[in-house]
Amino acid sequence: MKLLLTAPLALLPVYAQAQDADINYDYEGTAINLVTYTCAGEVKLPVAFINAGDSSTAVMLYDGQLVAMNSMKTASGATYASIDEQNGYRLSTKGDEAFVEFMAADDSAKLEMKLSACQSAPAE
């Protein structure tokens, strides 16, 4: 199972270059969705969403690095926070829209908008 999840994540940078269409995998109850958002300034944000039962995670390729995140409880939509607390990224999604924020791991504890007005490609 670990190899199944690792392979699509390893291909995320390659997928980010292609950006032709969103890709969806489903294997024995684990759904993997590769989505590319286009954000303000025409910035591309590729994200792999992994849903296995009650567990939901995401990995995004941002600023040349893969950022692994776990889901957080929200009132609507979905929010994912970095697993690495020193790398304080948050990805919030609702429908086809998303945005990325960053919270420094220092005493400022202020959320900073990194990517806004992100939109996934419409389904064909």
pLDDT, tens only, 5-15: 444 555 555 54
Structural domain boundaries in the chain: 2-120
pLDDT tens digits for range 75-104: 888 999 999 877 899 999 999 999 999 988
Give yes or no for a contact between 113 and 101, defined as CB atoms under 8 angstroms apart: yes
Higher-confidence residue of 104 and 16: namely 104
Report the C-alpha gap between 109 and 117 in whole angstroms. 23
How high is the pLDDT of residue 93?
96
Q: Could you give phi then psi for residue 4, rounded to 5 degrees? A: -60, -45
pTM (2 d.p.):
0.79
pLDDT averaged over every residue in the chain: 82
Distance CA 83, CA 114 (A): 18
- What is the dotted CATH code of the domain comprising 2-120? 2.40.128.200
Length of the chain: 124
Contact 22, 35 (CB under 8 A): yes
Mapped to the 3 state alphabet, what secondary structure does the chain carry?
Answer: CHHHHHHHHHCHHHHHHHCCCCEEEEECCEEEEEEEEEEHHHEEEEEEEEEECCEEEEEEEECCEEEEEEEECCCCCEEEEECCCCCCEEEEEECCEEEEEEECCCCCCCEEEEEEEEEECCCC
Summarize the confidence of residues 60-77 as an average pLDDT: 91
pLDDT band at 110 (very low <50, low <70, confident <90, very high): confident
